[in-house]
A = this chain, B = another copy of it.
Amino acid sequence: MPASTLRTVKPPHETRTRILDAAEELFMQHGFEGTSMRQLTAKADVNLAAVNYHFGSKDALIEAVFRRRLDPMNGARIAALDAIEATGRPLTPEAIIRAFVGESLRMIEDAKGGGRNFIRLLGRSYTEPSKPIRVLIGQLYEPAMERYKSAFERALPQMPPEELVWRMHFMFGTLSYTLAATDAVQLIAGCKPEDRHDARLLEDRLTAFLAAGLTAPLKHVVRKAA
């Protein structure tokens, strides 16, 4: 028997982690349906059957990919808001926005871990055609969403609730699209941003843009009838 066929021993959860990491990257590059189990297991360097053994099915793997990162990230979002409130300073709209946006960009900065892959994947998934995936993301976001909505309501007491919902929706879109479209900026100009040290600058740009949009004057409300 050749020595090369020796089975390698792996620490516990090694295989699970390798699969999740590979899935994160491939899903980001080719989408869920565009990524086959054979590509995925080849990249993770595990057996084809490993995904079904450890996760049950491809759909369950997709869910696991989201849960691994989304729960901690939204937990950190809520904690960031709590931390600001704990100082006693008043919550300005800009501070709220920065807390929300910053948590995404923090993940992009750690290029070592797959956080960057996940953030891009996440940006794409907001407009995912598959209904179960959208429902899952909605569930995972709900706690943080409620928390931020009420924070904005307190910071902008004069804003009609319906208008606030729309503006949060716009904010969400801007963030999601910006995260997803690393190369789509070229659509406008040939300027592809260096993503490393630009994360901080991007946070400033995004926050300034979103804070201005969120607090824009309410001139159009008078038209509302229905």
The residues of B that contact A177 with a CB separation of less than 8 Å are 126-127, 169-170, 172-174, 176-177
Q: Which of A14-22, A103-111, A202-210 contacts B (4 or more CB under 8 A)?
A: A202-210
Q: Which of A47-55, A61-69, A159-167 contacts B (4 or more CB under 8 A)?
A: A159-167
Query: Copies of this chain, how many?
Result: 2
Complex interface bits, A205-226 against B, C-beta within 8 A gives 1, otherwise 0: 1101111111111111001101
SS of A interface (majority) = helix
Complex interface bits, A178-211 against B, C-beta within 8 A gives 1, otherwise 0: 1011011111110100100110111011101111
A176 CA / B201 CA spacing, docked (Å): 23
Whose C-beta in chain B lies nearest to the C-beta of A209?
B213
Q: Which of A25-33, A74-82, A83-91 contacts B (4 or more CB under 8 A)?
A: A25-33
A173 CA / B210 CA spacing, docked (Å): 12
The residues of B that contact A127 with a CB separation of less than 8 Å are 123-124, 127, 176-177, 180-181, 184
Whose C-beta in chain B lies nearest to the C-beta of A168?
B188
The residues of B that contact A186 with a CB separation of less than 8 Å are 138
Which chain A residues (33-52) contact chain B, with CB distance < 8 Å? 33-34
Q: Which of B137, B184, B216 contacts A209 (CB 8 A)?
A: B216
Q: Which of B28, B165, B185 contacts A188 (CB 8 A)?
A: B165
Q: Are B213 and A34 in contact (CB under 8 A)?
A: no
The residues of B that contact A28 with a CB separation of less than 8 Å are 129
The residues of B that contact A201 with a CB separation of less than 8 Å are 220, 223-224
Q: Are B169 and A185 in contact (CB under 8 A)?
A: yes
Chain A interface residues (CB < 8 Å from chain B):
28-31, 33-34, 123-124, 126-130, 134, 137-138, 141-142, 145, 149, 161-163, 165-170, 172-178, 180-181, 183-189, 191, 194, 197-198, 200-202, 204-206, 208-220, 223-224, 226
Known: A34-B130, A173-B173, A204-B220. 5 other contacts (CB 8 A): A33-B34, A123-B127, A124-B127, A170-B209, A170-B210
